[in-house]
Amino acid sequence: MQISRLLQMTYILLEKGTVTAPELAERFEVSVRTVYRDVEALSQAGIPVYTSQGKGGGISLTDRFVLNKSLLTDKEQDEILFALQSFSAARLPDSGEVFSKLSSLFRKNSTSWIEVDFSPWGSGLKQKELYPLLKQAILERKVISFTYLDGAGEQKSRRAAPLKLLFKDRAWYVEAYSFEKAALRTFKITRMSNVRLIEGDGAHFLEPQQEWMESSGTYREEIKVNEMPRIPLVLKIDPAGAYRIVDEFREEDILKQEDGSFRITTDMPSGEWLIQYLLSYGDLLEVMEPGAVRLEMKTRTAKMAKKYLR
């Protein structure tokens, strides 16, 4: 992010001549102190930037400075453009504009080598639009309202101040301060619907309050799972389940059998989470050990079969 900001700052100084630190701070939504740190970084990188005091003063480049592409090797130019394209793929503000300008300066053809889509396969337009909206709420410190489907299957209205996005175990979450709970909460994004930015009074919040960060009872679904006691497991998975095995188990835990099936020796958190996870494999999985988990799977599948034998 800082690289993109430094490049943009250089272009602004080239175009406008002299710009004050508060103007740059407002432009990039950072503190004045951060602007002066960026100025120092530019200077250390060999960019002739200087500051002047008094009326008409500010941050400037020397009159004869030109961003010379000959200072960079062909490989270095590619690396800069590829890095900027990574920023652009992640929807970082203004990185696309800088990428376009540098592509023109270096006389490089634009190669679309990366694309980042945070939404899951099969998601609709509304789900795809959710991530830019959450990013906007986090960067602009805006409050959102939404409907949330909790673990009990109940839909509840929520109002929260998003602080950051979190990716954990193949799922996206948003960590936010919940005004209903007066504490930090972690919401699974696929359970959120009707997400809107709040307008008018109460639309913004300032810096996260210290009591938010220290609020007791912070709930994270993944932490709750990881704190459960772990039990050893031996699983047999059919060849058709190979696409999941390589993503979900360590290589050293996987043993391919002569019949093409896989023997998995691992340990996992106990409890209802484990049973639901094992059931997600359907008839591709058989629990070999321990006996207690095997018996529970037998009981659950028998109950499931009963519903279809009526």
**CATH code for the domain in which residue 30 is found:** 1.10.10.10
Last residue of a domain, one of 224, 255, 277: 224
Q: Are residues 198 and 280 in the same domain?
A: no
Closest CA to 234 of 299, 282, 297, 280: 297
Question: How many distinct structural domains can be found in the chain?
Answer: 3
Q: Are residues 237 and 172 in the same domain?
A: no
Is 96 within the bounds of a domain? yes
Q: What is the pLDDT, as a whole number, of residue 247? A: 76
Q: Are residues 12 and 75 in the same domain?
A: yes
Q: Which residues contact 61 (CB under 8 A, 6 or more apart)?
A: 10, 13, 14, 47, 48, 49, 50
Q: Are residues 147 and 179 in the same domain?
A: yes
Last residue of a domain, one of 72, 104, 136: 104
Residue 307 structure tokens? 């519903």
Last residue of a domain, one of 198, 224, 250: 224
Q: Are residues 201 and 178 in the same domain?
A: yes
Q: DSSP alpha helices (H): ranges in 187-267?
A: 210-213, 221-226, 242-248
- Domain with 56, as residue range(s), is 2-104
Q: Are residues 179 and 147 in the same domain?
A: yes
Residue scoring higher pLDDT (46 or 98): 46
Quote the CA–CA distance of 293 and 237 in Å, as a whole number: 16
Q: Are residues 194 and 244 in the same domain?
A: no
Q: Are residues 7 and 95 in the same domain?
A: yes
Is 47 within the bounds of a domain? yes
Q: Which residues contact 220 (CB under 8 A, 6 or more apart)?
A: 173, 186
Is 113 within the bounds of a domain? no
Is 50 within the bounds of a domain? yes
Q: Which residues contact 85 (CB under 8 A, 6 or more apart)?
A: 99, 112, 113, 114
Q: Are residues 100 and 67 in the same domain?
A: yes
Q: According to the per-residue pLDDT averaged within each range, which of 5-19, 102-116, 156-170, 276-290 is highest?
A: 276-290
Is 117 within the bounds of a domain? no
Q: DSSP alpha helices (H): ranges in 90-117?
A: 95-106
Q: What is the dihedral of CA 167, 172, 175, 180, to 10 degrees?
A: -160
pLDDT at 27 over 70: yes
* Mean local confidence (pLDDT), 263-286: 91
Q: What is the mean pLDDT of the chain?
A: 76
